[in-house]
Structure 1
Amino acid sequence: MANLKKFLESNRDLEYVDILIPDLCNIFRGKRLPIADLNKLFVGEFQIPSSIMLLDITGEGSDPGGRGFSDGDPDVCVWPIKDTLVRIPWSDEPIGQVLGSLWELDGSPCSVDPRQVLNSVWQALVTDGLFPTVAFELEFYLVDADYPKTKQLRPPVLPGSKDRLHDTQVYSIRELEEISGFLGTVSKACVQQGIPLGAASAEYASGQYEINLHHTTDVLVAADQAMLMQRAVRAIAKKFDTLATFMAKPYKDSAGNGGHVHFGLQDESGLNIFDDGTERGTSLMRHAIGGLMHTLPEAMAFFAPNANSYRRFAPDMYVPVTPSWGYNNRSVALRVPGGDQSSRRIEHRVPGADVNPYLALAAIMAGVHYGIRNRIDPGPPSEGDEKRRAGLAFPATWELAFERLADAKVLPNYFGSDYVRLYRMTKEFEHNRFLREINPLELDWYLSPG
């Protein structure tokens, strides 16, 4: 309450505060509170139906497992997340924002809140003396702001010029200079929200960029920051007359957007338990990789959460297509980066930028924990181009991912079997709605063939 009082004293002109609750599909749900009512949030008097956590990408509910219409749509309590109450940096109006998490009215965690799912998996590791260090790398495209009208997807006209982006110059400094105003505004907005950003780079397609977040030992904060950074990028892009998308595969023939996760592990004394002073790393690291490979098929529905996600997995796009691992090899699913051995870690390259960061981290930590506990051998590391090796591929379609999740043996023990079932039901509802739509290509091909 002291922080709330200080915030209000420093922002006397504020009229409203947006309560931001990240849902299953990475959409912020919540309400806009008049500043006079903000105190209710901080004393446990702000409630909302938990069914908002089980909506599809369009906001439609399917009453999964009887959650929604059938149970009377009961409320749960929203509590604010520490240190997330800030003034919205890009808003032209005097508005604040704060992240919220869901709790049952009896004070227990709300089991359908992705943030609570992540916390439960995190505590399983902490109980065993395992302390993760994580960081996200998120890619996105800037596209023409007129897409909603023209339905023509193309790179934007550069701010302050008449030139449209057209080059594919990976790691181009010139491209970064051309959007330096945008990147600088994003950086300032993130600093104002307590989000420390790392390197930014131009990526493998025109108008594609990557922003790295700093590593942190608080996995909830890591996911919070990933969500808030994406919100800032999207909002500020509009200020520069462009649109930002974290969609996994916006362009058919260009690189997709990755949402890579770097994962390290420490013991209670802070020592990196993946590092043994050699390039090979510890047996615990290999067991962790073994667990990630073992759980990858049933985790694909979380790493690739929608119909477009699976278009990203294609050869020669620096995207893994097999459950594989290797040292300093970008063709594998689980890469052990080179460099300083004291920072030995695993880079999970399967998730796209469209993942729910809470659920992606939960799936990764569950795989790591399962692998270490069961001493799973990942087999030999891959060398060279992994796609050219024959072997078992992970689920390549949304339908196959649903099948693997329905038969999951490991993740339900970490996420809770009810949550895995409700997640699958919600996403299957979205999948079925998607398939019912008739797209323009379908009409072009089949309306009058020959």
Structure 2
Amino acid sequence: MKNWLRKHPEVRTIRVAAADLNAQARGKRVPTRYADKVVEDGTRFPLSVLNLDIWGEDIDDSPLVFETGDADGVLKPTERGFMPMPWLEAPTALLPIWMFREDGRPYEGDPRHALRAVVDRYKAMGLTPVVAVELEFFLIDDSGRKLQVPVSPRSGKRRKAAETLSIRALDAFDTFFTDLYEACEEMDIPADTAISEAGLGQFEVNLMHCDDALRAADDAWLFKMLVKGLARRHGFAASFMAKPYEDYAGSGLHTHFSVLDADGRNIFDDGGPLGTDLLRQAVAGCLNAMAGSTLIFAPHWNSYDRLVPDAHAPTGICWGYENRTAAVRIPSGSNAARRIEHRVAGGDVNPYLMLAAILGAALNGIEDKAEPPAPITGNAYALGLPQVPTTWADAIDAFEACPEIARIFAPELVRNFVLTKRQELHYMGDLTPEERVEIYLDTV
């Protein structure tokens, strides 16, 4: 890690940052002359900092604050090490960190540790999940009272129409996407294809599959930070909020995953299009935990504007082969690449919690040898299926009471997340829709 800074003498300051439960970057600015101390000894801030609400406020009834004297945790660098922050004007490095207790134990309220615990369960069975994510986001002109598509730097025009898979829409913001891909190279984020999507100024970028789930979550977290910061340098906003426009589809964050055994074989591949019993067991685990996991996949007030029928976001708890109306889809293609696509999450999620919920649920199903219902065919919205929770309040209650969630997440994280979301639900109820959009636009 120290060698990276020595190779980049132009960097004069660093940021050390961890993801809180809302995936907000919490940390400090440090002069580079003190970087060695941070690398060797870590840094400190209160345990409660990873459990702030979306406004950055303490949770009113959290035992982490006054009840325990607002004790410190120790923040240590992750294995990711230093990387540039290309969206800032001054040369700056980011050092991702995660939280431990004073005695060296991982802090169970840290979302990155929640995912690590799930990965450790796979390792104990000789298994390795392979993960890829697809991130949708909007480019937005938020300079006026009404959100709208930014003016194209190339044409000087504002195109107010959906542009699904439009090369013209990509070309209209070619300068931004060129800078974005160059920045991904600098940060070692494996950005693959980009497409335009069905919403106003909506795009999707796929990140390449990775056999390190923690790194895949890091990539998604860093990518969201990069996109939002770089867009501001280009004179507009970028947002991963679930549904900025009432009349257009929202943004999802779809996850593809397979699982390798100790010999590197895909345990979902049986040489045919249907996949193995283990694939179906993993699907069953995902479906069994889906109602309880919805708070992870839809963590904000605005998230539930996206989870409505006939809006390209799955609402029925079901699975199917090559069916994008299903919550869990088995894509076609190479048998060797047989995988599961989980389609419920919005773009506004915490990537660490999302991958922990998906991979943990799949492993629950494999451990239990669970059997899924029959795969659906046709339009899932028209089949009268069991539904995911349709309100934020119901999702909070389902998460708190779900036995599958209790197998995936530590009790402290469940408690902290529930307290956070109940506080946000209370205060969001006092705001206008415009005020909610304003807070979510830049944060999530």
Determine the C-alpha separation between the residues in 2 that align with 1:40 and 1:119: 25
What corresponds to 2:31 in structure 1?
34
Which residue of the other structure, out of 283, 297, 300, is the alignment partner of 2:277?
283
Partner residue of 2:442? none
Alpha-carbon contact 1:137-1:260 (below 8 Å) kept:
yes
CA RMSD of aligned residues (A): 1.4
| Aligned equivalent of 1:127 | 124
Residue 244 of structure 1 aligns to which amino acid in structure 2?
A: A
Equivalence for 2:441: none
**2:17 aligned counterpart, secondary structure:** strand
User: What pairs with 1:145-224 in structure 2 (closer than 5 Å)?
Assistant: 145-146=142-143, 150-224=144-218
Alpha-carbon offset, residue 43 of structure 1: 1.3
Match of 2:149, SS? coil
- Structure 1 pair 195/440, CA: closer, same or farther in 2 (3 Å)? closer
How far apart, in 2, do the equivalents of 1:440 and 1:76 lie?
36
Query: Which residue is equivalent to 1:263?
Result: 257
Aligned to 1:381: 375
Q: Which residue of 1 aligns with 2:45?
A: 48
Matches within 5 A, 1:357-436: 357-436=351-430
- Equivalent in the alignment of 1:448: none
Q: CA deviation at 1:81?
A: 1.7
Partner of 2:440: none
1-side partners of 2:188 and 2:140: how far apart?
Answer: 27
Q: Which amino acid aligns with 1:132?
A: P
Distance 1:386 1:181, change over 3 A: same
Q: Percent identity?
A: 36
Query: CA–CA distance in 1 between the matches of 2:397 and 2:275?
Result: 34
Question: One-letter code of the match for 1:85?
Answer: F
Separation in 2 of the partners of 1:304 and 1:162?
36
Q: Which amino acid aligns with 1:217?
A: D
State the partner residue of 2:7.
10
1:286-301 to 2 correspondences below 5 Å: 286-301=280-295
The two structures have a TM-score, normalised by structure 1, of 0.94
In structure 1, what residue type is equivalent to 2:99?
L
Give, as a single letter, the amino acid of the residue that structure 1 aligns with 2:350: N
Structure 2: distance between partners of 1:265 and 1:64: 40
Tell me if 1:141 matches 2:145.
Answer: no
- Inter-partner Cα distance in structure 1 for 2:254 and 2:424: 25
Cα deviation, residue 319, structure 1: 1.3
1:62 is displaced (CA, Å) by 1.4
User: Could you say which residue in structure 1 is the equivalent of 2:231?
Assistant: 237
In structure 1, give the amino acid aligned to 2:109: V
Structure 1: which 5+ runs fail to align?
A: 442-450
Q: Relative to structure 1, is the Cα distance of residues 440 and 197 closer, same or farther in structure 2, using a 3 angstrom cutoff?
A: closer
Query: Quick one: distance in 2 between partners of 1:94 and 1:394?
Result: 45
Distance 2:158 2:412 in 1: 49
Match of 1:340 in 2: 334
Distance 1:383 1:324 in 2: 10
Q: Which runs of 4+ in 1 moved over 6 A?
A: none
What letter matches 2:114 in structure 1?
Answer: V
Q: TM-score, normalised by structure 2?
A: 0.95
What letter matches 1:136 in structure 2?
Answer: V
Q: Which residue of 1 aligns with 2:105?
A: 108
- What residue is the counterpart of 2:67 in the other structure? 70
Contact 1:64 1:426 in 2 (8 A): no
The change in CA–CA distance for 1:34 and 1:324 in structure 2 (over 3 A counts) is: same
SS of the equivalent of 1:169 reads coil
* Displacement after TM superposition at 1:323 (Å): 0.4
Name the structure 1 match of 2:267.
Answer: 273
Question: Equivalent residue for 1:20?
Answer: 17
2 CA distance for matches of 1:190 and 1:391? 40
Q: Report the 3-state secondary structure (helix = DSSP H, G, I; strand = E; otherwise coil) of the residue aligned with 2:45.
A: strand
Distance 1:176 1:30, change over 3 A: same
Contact 1:85 1:99 in 2 (8 A): yes
**Distance between the aligned counterparts of 1:38 and 1:161, measured in 2?**
45
1:89 aligns with 2:83: no
Deviations 1:109-130 (A, max 9, x none): 0111100011011111211122
Match of 1:99 in 2: 96
Matched-pair contact (CA < 8 Å) for 2:100–2:107: yes
Instruction: Please give the alpha-carbon distance, in whole angstroms, between the structure 2 residues aligned to 1:413 and 1:8.
Output: 41
